[in-house]
A and B are shown apart, each in its own frame.
Chain A
């Protein structure tokens, strides 16, 4: 069974701190995605990681991919309150019409 596991599922942290969200997946995948979802809102694409060793950064968020370990990380640097949201990772599988397999999400609360 294809699985995508995120941890932690819930994270409460103080502004200014650094932290990492982990995303493990169980099968070979072509692409890994990170999305953000604010409460009551839809999903917003953050990053697409295409190859082993890929690293993408935007603002205080940096995502990386290790295809050999089947692991992606989303690192938050010097967190600010505006980054409070739920973060999902997802992988697509070419032999399933590129269907996205989603993690359960990491709910991040950043306290001022």
Chain B
């Protein structure tokens, strides 16, 4: 079974530029999560989708971050404009449970460096 796929793996941009990340979850997984992980810390949830609807986006900085999950499968996370403090690893995870909960399976992450 293929795991969670993410691209790109690495991205370097200058502040005020925009960037987008892509995630393809495990086939059949209803719930998709985007996390931000700053070096030396645990992951911080940005947004949770169930199928193509948003379940929780309370920690998403909506003035600059946006995310969508079209057709309940792939998802994109965008940052516009980027700030220095956005430098982090962006992790996508999926789980089979429609109501959330259960083991989350993580992709390899996208390392973002904002200069």
* Contact call A42/B109, Cβ cutoff below 8 A: yes
Which of A30, A42, A102 contacts B101 (CB under 8 A)? A30
B14 at the interface (CB under 8 A from A): no
Q: Is the interface of B mostly helix, strand, loop or mixed?
A: loop
Say yes or no: is B72 at the interface (Cβ < 8 Å to chain A): no
What A residues does B45 contact at CB under 8 A?
99-100
Contact A98 B42 (CB under 8 A): no
Q: In the complex the two chains form, is B41's CB within 8 Å of A42's CB?
A: no
Give the complex CA separation of A96 and B57 in angstroms.
11
Q: Among the interface residues B56, B105, B106, B107, which one has the most CB atoms of the partner chain A within 10 A?
A: B106
Query: Could you tell me the distance in whole angstroms from the C-beta of B92 to the nearest C-beta in chain A?
Result: 9
How far, in angstroms, from A33 to B103 measured CA to CA in the complex?
Answer: 8
For the complex, is A25 an interface residue (Cβ under 8 Å from B)?
no
Q: A90 and B42: CB pair below 8 A?
A: yes
B108 touches which one: A42, A88, A98, A104 (CB < 8 A)? A42
Contact flag A98-B41 (CB < 8 Å), given A42-B107, A42-B109, A43-B106: no
Chain B contributes a number of interface residues (CB within 8 A of A) equal to: 23
- Assess the B42–A105 pair: CB atoms within 8 A: yes
Query: For residue B50, which residue of chain A has the nearest CB?
Result: A97
Whether, in the assembled complex, A68 has its beta carbon less than 8 Å from a beta carbon of chain B, the answer is no
Q: For A104, what are the chain B residues with a Cβ–Cβ distance below 8 Å?
A: 40-42
Q: Per-residue 0/1 for B79-111: is the Cβ within 8 Å of any A Cβ (1 yes, 0 no)?
A: 000000000000101000101111111111100
What residues make up the interface of B, taking CB atoms closer than 8 Å to A? 40-45, 48, 55-56, 91, 93, 97, 99-109
Q: List 7 A-B contacts (CB under 8 A).
A: A42-B106, A44-B106, A48-B102, A97-B99, A98-B99, A104-B40, A104-B41
- 12 new A-B contacts, CB < 8 A, other than A42-B109, A44-B106, A100-B45, are A31-B101, A42-B91, A48-B103, A90-B42, A92-B101, A94-B101, A96-B56, A98-B100, A99-B45, A100-B43, A102-B43, A105-B42
